[in-house]
Amino acid sequence: MANVPEPQLLSFRDARSLAEDYASKLSPTDPEMLPLLDSAGLVLAEDLRADRDFPPFPRSTRDGFAVRAADLSTLPARLHCIAEIKAGATVEQSAVTVAPGEAAEIMTGAPVPTGADAVVMVEHTQRSSDTVIVQRSVASGENIVAMGSEGRKGSVMVPSGTWINHATVAIAAAIGRPEVAAYKRPRVAIVATGDEVVDINLRPGANEIRNSNSYSLAAQVSAAGGDPVILPVARDEAGELALLLRKGLEADLLLITGGVSMGKYDLVEAVLASLEAHLFFTGVRMQPGKPVVFGQAKPGTKTTPFFGLPGNPVSTMVTFQLFARPLLDALAGSKPQPLPFAQATLKSAFNTKTGITRFLPAKLGGTHLRPEVELVRWQGSGDLMAISQSNCYIVVPPDREQFATGETITILLF
């Protein structure tokens, strides 16, 4: 068995930027054409260009009357109503010209006729037969979205490399694209380790536990645009571990859980060393997740990055989000995305010790005027109940130990 190299313990910041730098040099998977809805959650592999001007006509944003703003300099103004233009009006129906002293009744989403340069809301008017009395003035351009102001024909509306979310889907639909090019989901192999860990289809013995990490990771990988491949649980035995890690290194990214601490049977680093893996870091000054390992190996013709994530379930989850996620972003075709930090008011005071960055399971609530967060009581990084009741982490920097009720605190959203 090869020796384990000197441990490289980094600060959270250094470890994160190392992962981001590594990620930014990775190439994405191949693109493929997909039905629009199948592409949601993947990364766009082409620029989505406007097939015509957006909007394609000057669009009224209100129900009311299309007018010449200059006609409303004296109020109330009496205008002669010459037409009604509804959304979806034919070209003939909308081909009227609003002359001085005239107005056209118009609906939201309808084309504003020539001559008119503003729309006055119906709430500010009274109609009696052909006459409309307007009670309020409007500025030129008010309640009209000019033709082409959101995008000119041929212009890029969504660039390649964007995560396809509901807004991207809306744009693709608006430009008439039932299929779009997206990068294929990167394959992410998952190897759980531990003599005590049994698969969820088996009955655990008295001192055994079920493998939850492979499944939580698979769910995180899927949500992050990857294709999880769960490999069998590896015993804490070098030969079996080596075999499974080799298999896992055939994927685009390998995630290992457990076996990276200092215990006698924590063999992952030694086995990786025997595969001539290069380790970028072998620990991070953080909690949970301190023993996390990041490296790459080339057992065959291709180099594959891997993470050895600590086995405690909350440690596995948080280290995936903090360090593996940027690599998944890059393999999926996007730039590594910034972590979703936010700020909220702390509901109850707490103390910690200095020296490491902490990510403590917490619950964000309150209102839009005052988002509030509080720690979830937990039994440490193996506590699945605590994490399932949380929706974020409170982030404690290494130099702080006392946090008072009412202070503004940084959180990391899931």
| 253-292 footprint of Mg ion as x/- string (CB under 5 A) | -----xx---------------------------------
Dihedrals φ, ψ of 253, to 5°?
A: -150, 140
Residue 16 has which token pair? 């994160």
Residue 373 CB, shortest distance to ligand AMP, in Å, is 27
Residue 259 CB, shortest distance to Mg ion, in Å, is 5
Is residue 310 within 8 A of residue 292, CB to CB? The reply is yes
Does 51 bind ligand AMP (CB under 6 A)? Our answer is no
Burial class (CB in 10 A: 0-12, 13-18, 19+), 79: buried
Q: Which does 261 bind (CB under 5 to 8 A by kind): ligand AMP, Mg ion, none?
A: ligand AMP
Residue 145 has which token pair? 């979205």
Residues 6 or more apart from 168 whose CB is under 8 A from it? 40, 44, 48, 158, 162
Q: Which of residues 299-328 bind ligand AMP (CB under 6 A)?
A: 310-313
Residue 330 CB, shortest distance to ligand AMP, in Å, is 26
Does 259 bind ligand AMP (CB under 6 A)? Our answer is yes
Does 310 bind Mg ion (CB under 5 A)? Our answer is no
Q: Which of 213, 220, 319, 357 binds ligand AMP (CB under 6 A)?
A: 213
Is residue 220 within 8 A of residue 69, CB to CB? The reply is no
Q: How many residues in the chain?
A: 414
Query: Quick one: which of 94, 5, 12 has its CA closest to 396?
Result: 12
**# binding residues, Mg ion (CB under 5 A):** 4
Residue 316 has which token pair? 């596995």
Query: Quick one: which of 364, 369, 367, 368 has its CA closest to 346?
Result: 364
Beta bridge partners of 156: 49
Q: Which of residues 200-259 bind Mg ion (CB under 5 A)?
A: 258-259
Q: Which does 211 bind (CB under 5 to 8 A by kind): ligand AMP, Mg ion, none?
A: ligand AMP
Quote the CA–CA distance of 2 and 190 in Å, as a whole number: 23
Q: Which of residues 265-284 bind ligand AMP (CB under 6 A)?
A: 266
Q: Which of 55, 194, 248, 361 binds ligand AMP (CB under 6 A)?
A: 194
Q: Which does 289 bind (CB under 5 to 8 A by kind): ligand AMP, Mg ion, none?
A: none
Quote the CA–CA distance of 111 and 144 in Å, as a whole number: 9
Quote the CA–CA distance of 393 and 370 in Å, as a whole number: 18
Dihedrals φ, ψ of 32, to 5°?
A: -145, 155
Q: Which of residues 334-393 bind ligand AMP (CB under 6 A)?
A: 382
Does 192 bind ligand AMP (CB under 6 A)? Our answer is yes
Nearer to ligand AMP, 75 or 209 (CB): 209
Residue 314 CB, shortest distance to ligand AMP, in Å, is 10
**Would you tell me which residues interact with Mg ion (CB under 5 A)?**
194, 258-259, 311
**Would you tell me which residues interact with ligand AMP (CB under 6 A)?**
192, 194, 196-197, 209, 211-214, 257-261, 263, 266, 310-313, 382
